[in-house]
Structure 1
Amino acid sequence: MTSSHSPKFSATSERISNLGDSREHDRDTAEFDESLRQSVQKISIGLYDFLASTRRLGERPNARMDISQSEMEVLHFISTHPGCGVSDIARLRFLRPSNVSATVRRLLDNGLIKRENNAKDRRAQNLYVSEDGQEMLGQLIDHWGDMVYQIVRTMSSKDIRSLIKALPSLLKLAEHSESFVEEHQRRQEPF
């Protein structure tokens, strides 16, 4: 009699044990998710504060070099996405195509970018940074780097090492952000 009930009891006992493990796993997962959410909240506040405090600093060299912030943003985007078009810039930067077109026209007029016909679509044009644009970008990046260097010099060695270690993750965050935006734009979903 015990032999016929023993396997059932054993199987049931194992299921109950696994159920307990499953609940514990779910609780651990929920705690991890909440902890991650709180950490990401802190990261997002830190990134926002950093961007807000440094955005105006970034505009200063632009004004000195006679390029607007929007022109700089589009120029930089084209440098990191060679062959892109106006619609790509507008979509991935949440800008109106008409505003991007106007900015692209100014960059073309100033010789900072060049355009080539798209081989697959005669109506489309691919945008590239010109030699003058590369020189302008280099000057702006050097100046921006000098400003950030002055800021970083006020930090502790430990914090500086932490920033250096975080750089690959920050670059990945930028890459994933762009993919996230592109996917939402493609689906036409609100954030």
Structure 2
Amino acid sequence: MTDVDVQLDQLAEAAHTLSRTLRRTGELEVGLEQLPTSELDVLRFVVTHPAASVSEVARGLRLQTSNVSTTVRALVERGLLVRQPDPRDHRRSLLRSSPLADEHRRLLGRAWSRSIAGALAELEDGDAAAIRAAVPALTRLAESLRRRAEG
């Protein structure tokens, strides 16, 4: 295993730990129910692809349409997704995040920012500066990985 391989393994592990920790602590901090991963994945897809249909979500996430349909039904019942008739084809529905989901995302975003700010304050100045400087590149990496995952 090369040094680059080791660094990539460390980056993947750090990103995974960061994501899971922020999700868990953010939801607790703002008092939100933790969504099952399948619901969170569908909700995130719809946020980035407003007006997607169930079949488009299924294709984008590489899931069975029946599973996505069940997940969408649960998110609609929770008040986090809204189904709207497709004006071009009334047999299908288009999905959008609800105002409640948008408010939850806003609350979570603020909680995550506070957590990161607190953790950065505990790091050495050089480490905190390096992390802040890496934000644009990490954002591009995340977007590239998201596009690749969606095919």
**Structure 2-normalised TM-score?**
0.76
Structure with the larger RCO, 1 or 2 (CA within 8 Å, 6+ apart): 2
CA distance in 2, matches of 1:92, 1:41: 30
Aligned equivalents of 1:88, 1:45: Cα separation in 2: 34
User: Which structure 2 residues correspond to residues 38-53 of structure 1 after superposition, within 5 A?
Assistant: 39=4, 42-52=7-17
Give the aligned partner of residue 176 of structure 1. 144
Q: What value does the CA root-mean-square deviation take over the aligned residues? A: 2.7
Shift in Å, 1:178: 2.4
The 5 Å alignment of 1:1-191 reads 39=4, 42-52=7-17, 54-62=19-27, 64-70=31-37, 71-183=39-151
Aligned length: 147
- Partners of 1:62 and 1:69 within 8 A in 2: no
Please give the secondary structure, in 1, of the residue aligned with 2:122: coil
State how far apart, in whole Å, the 2-side matches of 1:66 and 1:109 are. 14
3-state SS of 1:153 partner? helix
SS at match of 1:124: strand
Asked whether the equivalents of residues 82 and 128 of structure 1 are also in contact (C-alpha less than 8 Å), the reply is yes
Structure in which a larger fraction of residues adopt helix? 1
For the pair shown, which has the larger CA radius of gyration, 1 or 2?
Answer: 1
Q: Name structure 2 gaps, 5 residues minimum.
A: none
Alignment deviations for residues 134-182 of structure 1 (CA, whole Å, 9 cap, x no partner): 1111112222222222222221222222222211111111221122223
Distance 1:157 1:59 in 2: 27
- Structure 1 letter corresponding to 2:50: P
Question: Please, what TM-score do these two structures have when normalized by structure 1?
Answer: 0.63
Which amino acid counterpart does residue 150 of structure 1 have in structure 2?
Answer: G
Report Cα offsets for 1:68-112 as digits up to 9, x if no partner: 142334323322221223333334334443333222212211222
Q: Give aligned-pair identity as a percent.
A: 27
**Counterpart in 2 of 1:11?**
none
- Secondary structure in 2 aligned to 1:125? strand
Cα offset, 1:44, TM superposition: 4.4
> For each residue in 1:22-44, what CA deviation from the matched residue of structure 2 results, as whole angstroms up to 9, or x when unmatched?
xxxxxxxxxxxxxxx85366234
In terms of fraction of residues, the more strand-rich structure is 2
Contact 1:92 1:178 in 2 (8 A): no
Between the aligned partners of 2:94 and 2:136, the Cα distance in structure 1 is 29
Secondary structure of the structure 1 residue equivalent to 2:95: strand
